[in-house]
Structure 1
Amino acid sequence: MLHDPNHIYIFDTTLRDGEQVPGCQLTTPEKIDIAKDLERLGVDIIEAGFPVSSPGDFQSVVELSKAVDDVIICALTRANKNDIDVAADALQYAKRPRIHTGIGASDMHIKYKFNSTREEILERAVAAVRHAKSHVEDVEFYAEDAGRADLAFLAQMVEAVIAAGATVVNIPDTNGYCLPDQYGSKIKYLKEHVKNIDQAIISAHCHNDLGLATANSIAAVQNGARQVECTINGIGERAGNTSLEEVSMILKVHHQAFGNLTSNIDSTMFTYISRKVSEMMNMPVQPNKAIVGRNAFAHSSGIHQDGFLKHRENYEIIRPEDVGLEEADIILTARSGRHALKHHLERLGYHLDKDTLADTYQRFLVLADAKKNIDDEDLLSLVQQ
């Protein structure tokens, strides 16, 4: 599988890892609806489910494979023959199928989850990749809990699975444990110590237990990872996964720092798809969430509002329209300045002279102290007074 070294492959797992959140289960038609939007958004890979886990998941992978045209459809398995056979069966209609198989890489997992040894785990990893390769050309291998794995053993495992035919090697920070410099140096170590690493794409799959999923994913990209596994709104088990919209906008805002790296993501769809996933999965987005939160482009402090109204770039590094919002919000609160009040009155068609504005502003402050949200009706009554 040839890959473009300047392309960041966006692997969306909203429908697999994201859907594992209690209360977020989707029906197959709902999954297809979201998958078609993800295809329009420009993701490269959609992880459609874990086929062996339930008949519903199996059916979802089958139907998504039929519904989607250009995107790679990926199915998750454990490192055993039956899981892989079931996944291959579920992917039979996919135009571009991928099997995602793997096993624990940390001594903690090897000992306490698999009750096994490094040697045995290595054999099982290689056997799983070979078996998956007999079904599909595109095989991704995940080294579970790589974040806490011994570096030399991890490199040995990665080398072995690439030799067995893995096209992508996923280095998950399964527990969201790593600091960005630790995770980045892990990726760098693999780039420098795995002799066949040029034959595969390194993938970052980070969890947000310490709030570092996005930072860790970016550190991975800076050190040579070329696939990022993420979800819309950063949803996922426990504290969630890497947020797709955050990674995408970091690459866009800091494009000079990332050289020629590009993705196919159409960021103007973010607001729409964020709200849709939030509603369908019954997962509210926190108002201060980066990029897609309700307050992400809301300015309420008077100093900020004044600076913003004079020159947007004073307080905006992303334009709201870049993420599909019509415009930034100048929110009126007791903290707002007269520049913000003037802006809203002019929006409503009132152009007050300096003295009248000063008088209206004093009455506005009294009202704003008594009332949390000032709306257009409040402004009209202030002017009419």
Structure 2
Amino acid sequence: MEQVYIFDTTLRDGEQVPGCKLNTREKLELALKLEALGVDIIEAGFPISSPGDFESVEEISKIIKNATVCGLSRAVQKDIEVAAAALKHAKKPRIHTGIGTSDFHIRSKFNSTREEILERAVQAVKWARNFVDDVEFYAEDAGRTDNEYLARVIEAVIRAGATVLNIPDTTGYCLPEQYGQKMAYLKNHVPNIDKAILSCHCHNDLGLATANSITGAVAGARQIECTINGLGERAGNTSLEEVVMVLKQHKHLGLYTNIHTQMLNPISREVADTMRVPVQPNKAIVGGNAFSHSSGIHQDGFLKDSQTYEIINPDEVGADGSKIVLTARSGRSALAHRLQKIGYSFNRNDVDVLYESFLRVADSKKEVEEEDLHQLARAYKQEPATV
């Protein structure tokens, strides 16, 4: 089994969601929770972007004991110097610097050439190595970067001292096969690739961030960059809880993380509350409906053996437990189960009669609640017995 390092960027990329700006106190509280969760690297912010972000990175650096604390910068000397200053108290500091490498970025964003961008990339890493031993280089828009040129850039920045190589699918463009092939190409065509760690940083514009990150790890990446609840620019980043549980469920991949999975739901709720972004009910792992069953066929199978419809035990991810939700699609076994849970014991014939009344109620509302069940049971018990 090989470890995949979890690089959490909730406090940096996740905070870029409109309306999710965090103050220093909120960032500190979440940083401590992320460290307790078992995150290996915490990207605490972008120090040069504002005095508040500088302060947050500096204060987080003072309190984090085990995780690496990372600060983002552009390939600009002043950015890197400010990031280094913010990280000066960190026990394990990392500067994350880089530049766009796709032709879209080189021509449109920088009005530059491939050779000039390569030189700027190398220079940025050298500047960062003047301050810290751990330097991560990001090749922005690597997902749309020509593989041969990307390999040249990666080889050069490793020679300059980069220890981690971030290969971002910045626009969420890649298919999993394409992203995996890109990682494999770098593993096979960069002579000094063994001197650094490849990292996946995927966005979810086409809903493929988790799939791309897992495929990248299978192809040789040993760091995944992600956020709690998949927060991030536009459609979001790779979801931490998803990649962690995919690797845990699929042990045949030979990969593991140090995340304490029982904390996933509690930290999901805390991030949602702090950042004021509700989690969609059908969100994998941490959504309110992730362990809810409302179809009669599903409920019957689940009540016979939970593994028929649940591949994860709710306790394993700190969820409140499985739920049998009663709707017009529910069956008799689910009705009997819920009645028993609230203290009623009916035989099969009783349930058959009650079920007809239940369906009339269910057709009139979206969900049959506990009080509805009490009313049905009391009404049934008061009816005179028929001969």
TM-score past 0.5 threshold: yes
Alignment of 1:155-304 (within 5 A): 155-256=151-252, 258-259=253-254, 261-304=255-298
Secondary structure of 2:74's match? coil
Distance 1:106 1:372 in 2: 50
Distance 1:380 1:97 in 2: 59
Find the counterpart in structure 2 of residue 307 from structure 1: 301
Shift of 1:326: 3.2
Q: Please, which runs of 5 or more residues in structure 1 have no aligned partner?
A: none
Find the counterpart in structure 2 of residue 154 from structure 1: 150
Shift of 1:325: 1.5
Distance 1:8 1:151 in 2: 23
Distance 2:348 2:288 in 1: 33
Distance 1:151 1:254 in 2: 29
Distance 2:232 2:347 in 1: 53
Distance 1:105 1:255 in 2: 34
Shift of 1:153: 0.4
Match of residue 355, structure 1, among 322, 327, 349: 349
Secondary structure of 1:190's match? helix
Distance 1:255 1:235 in 2: 26
Residue type matched to 2:287 in 1? G
Distance 1:155 1:354 in 2: 68
1:317 matches 2:311: yes
Residue type matched to 1:62 in 2? E
Query: 1:117-154, CA deviations, whole angstroms, 9 ceiling, x for partnerless residues?
Result: 11111111001101100100000000000000011100
Find the counterpart in structure 2 of residue 104 from structure 1: 100
Distance 2:321 2:127 in 1: 52
Find the counterpart in structure 2 of residue 57 from structure 1: 53
Distance 2:145 2:279 in 1: 33
Find the counterpart in structure 1 of residue 139 from structure 2: 143
Match of residue 93, structure 1, among 40, 65, 89: 89
Q: 4+ residue runs of structure 1 moved beyond 3 angstroms? A: none
Query: 1:18-45, CA deviations, whole angstroms, 9 ceiling, x for partnerless residues?
Result: 0011100011010011111100110000
Distance 2:256 2:213 in 1: 15
Report the count of equivalent residues. Answer: 379
Find the counterpart in structure 2 of residue 131 from structure 1: 127
Distance 1:35 1:361 in 2: 50
Query: Residues 69 and 93 of structure 2 are in contact (CA less than 8 Å); yes or no, is this contact kept in structure 1?
Result: yes
Residue type matched to 1:110 in 2? I
Shift of 1:82: 0.4
Match of residue 30, structure 1, among 26, 32, 46: 26
Residue type matched to 1:153 in 2? Y
Query: 1:23-74, CA deviations, whole angstroms, 9 ceiling, x for partnerless residues?
Result: 0001101001111110011000000000000000000000000121100000
Residue type matched to 1:139 in 2? V
Distance 1:134 1:6 in 2: 31
Secondary structure of 1:100's match? strand
1:117 matches 2:113: yes
Distance 1:263 1:292 in 2: 18
Query: 1:310-339, CA deviations, whole angstroms, 9 ceiling, x for partnerless residues?
Result: 001100111111110132011000000010
Identical-pair percentage: 64
RMSD over aligned Cα atoms: 0.8
Distance 2:213 2:16 in 1: 21
Distance 1:245 1:83 in 2: 31
Distance 2:173 2:341 in 1: 49
Distance 1:45 1:371 in 2: 47
Secondary structure of 2:256's match? coil
Distance 1:231 1:123 in 2: 31
Residue type matched to 1:272 in 2? P
Match of residue 334, structure 1, among 328, 337, 349: 328
TM-score (norm 2): 0.97
Secondary structure of 1:292's match? coil
TM-score (norm 1): 0.98
1:7 matches 2:22: no
Query: Residues 286 and 319 of structure 2 are in contact (CA less than 8 Å); yes or no, is this contact kept in structure 1?
Result: no
Distance 2:370 2:278 in 1: 26
Deviates more, 1:326-335 or 1:296-305: 326-335
Distance 2:318 2:257 in 1: 18
Distance 1:186 1:101 in 2: 21
Query: 1:217-242, CA deviations, whole angstroms, 9 ceiling, x for partnerless residues?
Result: 01100100000000000000100000
Shift of 1:356: 1.3
Residue type matched to 1:58 in 2? F
Query: 1:80-110, CA deviations, whole angstroms, 9 ceiling, x for partnerless residues?
Result: 1100000000001101000000001111101
Secondary structure of 2:136's match? strand
1:68 matches 2:64: yes
Distance 2:332 2:301 in 1: 12
Distance 1:283 1:354 in 2: 45
Q: Please, which runs of 5 or more residues in structure 2 have no aligned partner?
A: 380-387
